[in-house]
Every structure is written in structure tokens, then in C-alpha cells.
Amino acid sequence: MSHVNLSAKLGFVLLGLSGLGLTTPAWAAPCAGFEIEGSPYSFGPMNAAPSVVGGVQMPRVSTLFYRGIPLESPQFGVEKVTAAILGISSRPIATYAHYYLTELLLRTNPLPALTGPTRPVVENLRSEIATLEACAKNQPFTRLEANHYASELLDRHFRKIEASGKIPDFFFDFRGLGGAYRDSGAETLFASVYQPVTDYYGAQTLIFKDPDHRAIDLNYWNYKTHGTWRHASIDLGEVVMPGYVDSKDVMGLLVKGGRAESTGSHFTRAMTRFDWQGQHYVLILDPQDSNCIDASNPNGRPVFCESNYSIYEDALAFPKPLTARPVPVIGVVSSCPKGTDCPLPEELKKLFRVSQITIDPAQLIQIKRARNKNHYAVYEPLFTKSVQAANKNRLIIVEATYGGNVRGIEAGNVTAQAAAFCDGRSRCEYKVAQGFLGDPANGREKSFVLNYVCSARPGDTKTVQVAAPADEKVFTMECEG
């Protein structure tokens, strides 16, 4: 396989898109009594005055942001990130409040739960929601329209609170060493400028940008306002976005294996946006067991790296990566409706030296994540094809079952967890850990069975069987060559 040095040739190609934005009313069916107010709401104007602190230029609003969530969270994943990058879907990466408002306008039955933190948002928008619901009753909204109207509603929500002079109190005021942010969590998105920080929030990390400067640098604001960082002297590089991340600003996705809380675990998945002559592509990257991405290199060109970062250290003294590697591309994904011919441009074939992978947009956006099913329903075929195209012999987890010796336990109930840790590696030492897998059998002793193949011989399935009690047992899988 030929690795492409993106840091030298492409600079990670973080280019802007016109995309399917949320700021133009061209998408909308008219709704009497509801006027589109204009640009998305922004916390940006409330950022503290610029200064240099500890050698770092503040506020940090012109860099990449990283948001971590658990693997099982529906907020974003391979499907949504792929659809956003390829322009298949203009759905934003949404807060729960945005999601609830969208389903409300679509008149979904049953509605998602109206959680405690979401209730004040709905109450604050009661009259606007009633107007839109009346329009939807006469002419049902499409999902595209409902998503845009939900964005507009949240923008109005923030403007109302701003008019009351309460924005800091509601969303980012932090006081004292033992305090906490007074945010509801329902209508804002927390992120960090430091990618390793996101490991503490979950094994999936969304990479996004903020070209419209809608985010506020939380830690810097509190440092300038109250003289304190998030935890005493520790700066976690936290930022907060109001409402949603526009799909056109989604840049990529990282997935780590092992425990969701562990910064020591390594990337097993990596994908990023690449724009070429007006077309959008997803690059499937080989993380090579790296545990961080470093965006602070000369010229701002991210590379995979190894880091000994600890959340208990002062992030202003962010440790340098132990190693830095170029970003190897093993697949290029494009959107291609079934039955059509849209070959990869010759220039890209020469640049990446990998095979093209195409996906049918209709198939992608219809995929639904099911409970206890493989989390990587979309990514697995993409990753498998990429590995095969790169002619690398890597592990592919077919199915993993924890507690199959107990009646009623569904086969494949922990496939996603095992795949997150071992897929794509040449060799994987795997520990059966109930703390990570969960307990599907209420304290009973459980077996563990795993089926896998090596990408060089996809028809030769191998099986690992660990008798009950399997918890804390360790085994090794390896694909030679």
C-alpha cells in the first residue's frame, strides 16, 4: 500500500463549502405568521477581548473543534458524518432540543421524551411553535424543512434570552473553584480545541470547524471574567456552540477502541472531508494505532500522533506529541446514485493510489441504527473495501457475543464493542471486560465467542471461544502479512 503524506501534499484540505446551509430561506415552504429572521445565532460577539495567555492566542475561535460522545449516542456517527460530508444530507449535528423540535414539527408519533432541560426551551418558544404546527397541519413539512425551522426556532430562543441579559447565566458563567457551568445541556454543544480532552466524554469524536465564529471560548471567557479556568489552573480548551453544527462545517470523525473514558486507547477508525473541484469526498484514513491528532504543527497541518496528555495537567502546557506520522489514506468514498457512472478523477487516483468506493445516497440516508446491532453498519463495508484495496491483511470482526451460554441472549450483542477495539489492526490483544461490555445476564457467569476474518482471506472465518466465566480473560488475534 502506498501511504499519502497529506501533511505535505494536502494540508488535510480543510476547505470551505457552499454546502446546504441553514441561512437561506430558499428551502422553506411559506408559513403565514412566521418570518425567517436571518443569520444563525452566535455567541461569538460575547468572546473576551483577544490576548496571549501562556503563549496561546485567545480566544481560540479559528481552529478545529472536537466533540466527544459515547459510541451508542445517536447524536452523530458514521452515517451522519458521511452524509454531511458528501452533501447527501443537510441535517445538522443537533442538540437534543433541536432534535425534539424537528420531530415535533414532523408530527412524529410518538414524540421523543420532553426532558426536563428541554422543557424550558419549548416553553420559551410556545407561540412560534404553535404557528409552525398550524402550518404543518395544513401542509406537512419535509424533514429538510423541519430541520431548518428547528434551527430557526433555537436561534430565536437564544435571541430572547440575550434580550433579557441572561445569556452568561444560562450558558457559560462559571464561578469559583467548586462551581459548575449553569447550562441545561439541551440546546448547546460543548467541544474542545484539544482533541485528547474529548476522550473523557466518549470514544467517538466529531471534528468540525466554525467559519461563522458562532462559538465562544468558554474557559478563556471565565478566565477573563472571573480570573479562573474550568478547574483552578487547568484550561481544558472548552468551547460552546449554540444549537447545532451546520452540516457543511462537519470535517470528520474519529473512533477509539477500548474503554470510552480511556485516553490510552487508540484510534481504530478515522475519516475526514476532502473537497476537489466542487465535489465532496470522504477519505478513509489508517490511524496506525495512534491515540491523538495534532493540529498545532507548522502550517496547521494535522498529523496522527502519540500523546501522553492528562486531563489533570494544565492544558496550557499541552504536551508535545511523542511521535508524529503522516496521514495515510486507504480509501476514497464518493456519493454515486445506483446505476450511474461517476468515476474518481484521474488526478485523485494518481494522488491517493487507492481504489474508489462509491455509495448510493438513497441507501446511506435510509440506514437506521438498531439496538445491539453492528454500530458500523455503514463504515464496515467502507473500511473493509479500503483495507482490501490497500492490500493490507487486517482483522475484521464478524460477530461477538457475550453471555451466549445464557438463554435469551442475542447473538452478536457486543460486535460493535469488539470491532471498535480490534477492527483494522494486524494484531489485537483483547480483554473481555464486563465494565466495557455491560452485563446482559444480571450477574450470571457468561461465555464470550468471537468470529473474525483476515482481510486477505475474507472467506476463512476464525472463532475464539472463551468459556464462562469469561470476564477478565485475555486472548490474542493476529493476521500475518
Q: What is the pLDDT of residues 402-434, one digit of tens each?
A: 999 999 998 988 887 787 677 767 788 888 988
Residue 218 and residue 192 in contact, taking contact as beta carbons nearer than 8 Å: no
In this structure, the number of other CB atoms found within 10 A of the CB of residue 63 comes to: 16
pTM metric for this prediction: 0.70
Q: Which three cell numbers stand for residue 25?
A: 430561506
Sheet of strand 303-306, all strands in order from the earlier edge strand to the far edge: 292-294, 303-306, 323-325
> Is the previous residue joined to 343 through a cis bond, with omega within 30 degrees of 0?
no
Q: What are phi and psi of 299, to 5 degrees?
A: 70, 5
Of 91-105, 176-190, 372-386, 450-464, the range with the highest mean pLDDT is 91-105
* ∠ Cα 238 242 245 (to 5°): 85
pLDDT per residue over 147-187, tens digit each?
889 999 999 999 999 998 888 877 876 554 344 544 446 89
Residue 284 and residue 386 in contact, taking contact as beta carbons nearer than 8 Å: yes
In this structure, the number of other CB atoms found within 10 A of the CB of residue 57 comes to: 12
At 44, the amino acid letter reads G
- Among residues of the chain, what percentage have pLDDT more than 70? 69
| Spatial CA neighbour of 360 closest among 324, 392, 389, 333 | 333
Rounded to an integer, what distance in angstroms lies between the CA atom of residue 127 and that of residue 417?
Answer: 44
Instruction: List the chain domain ranges.
Output: 6-329, 393-481
Which residues on adjacent β-strands are paired with residue 245?
93
Q: Where are the beta strands (DSSP E) in 249-393?
A: 250-256, 267-276, 279-285, 292-294, 303-306, 323-325, 329-335, 356-359
